Amino acid sequence: MDISTRERVLSVGEAAARVGLTTYTLRWYEQEGLVAPVGRDSAGRRRYTEADLNWLMLLTRLRRTGMPVRDMRRYAELARQGDRTRAARRALFEAHRVRVLTRMAELEEDLKVLNYKIEIYRCAEEGR
């Protein structure tokens, strides 16, 4: 797919830097089917558009929140099928939201323990 030269496009390295990935990880996302085929210039080099970057930002956020790659792949497949899969995509996100909220609650409890231990050490250092 050859892309228009009127739209601002980025190389693999530029796109990776913009979304906070390595070029290796970005190519891995492509190999895993998480990213639709990216446009190419006349020399065959990948060129990423703003739409590509937005998609990659979503993927990085999903990954950062702990979404398994298989669910990310499923989401990408559903998104490519269009509007008829909206309910399935919403359900996938709702299930993931439950996992994220559960993990957040666990982290809150873990933070309480850390704060407690920090206070114990602070008091011991101050001789209290």
pLDDT digits (tens, 9 = 90+) for 63-75: 999 999 999 999 9
Q: What is the pLDDT along the chain (128 residues), one digit of tens a residue?
A: 444 456 789 999 999 999 999 999 999 999 999 998 888 998 989 899 999 999 999 999 999 999 999 999 999 999 999 999 999 999 999 999 999 999 999 999 999 999 999 999 999 999 88
pLDDT in tens, 94-115: 999 999 999 999 999 999 999 9
Query: Are the beta carbons of 48 and 12 closer than 8 angstroms?
Result: yes
Burial of 83 (0-12, 13-18, 19+ CB in 10 A): exposed
Give dist(CA 95, CA 118) in Å, integer: 35
Give dist(CA 54, CA 14) in Å, integer: 14
What are the b/e assignments for 57-72, b being 16+ CB within 10 Å?
ebbbebbeeebeeebb
Give dist(CA 80, CA 74) in Å, integer: 10
Q: Is residue 123 part of a domain?
A: no
Domain span at residue 39 reads: 1-64
**Global pTM?**
0.81
Q: Is residue 20 part of a domain?
A: yes
Count of domains observed in the chain: 1
Q: Is residue 14 part of a domain?
A: yes
Q: Is residue 76 part of a domain?
A: no
Q: Is the dihedral of CA 120, 121, 124, 128 positive or negative?
A: negative
CATH number of the domain that residue 20 is part of: 1.10.1660.10
Determine the length of the chain: 128
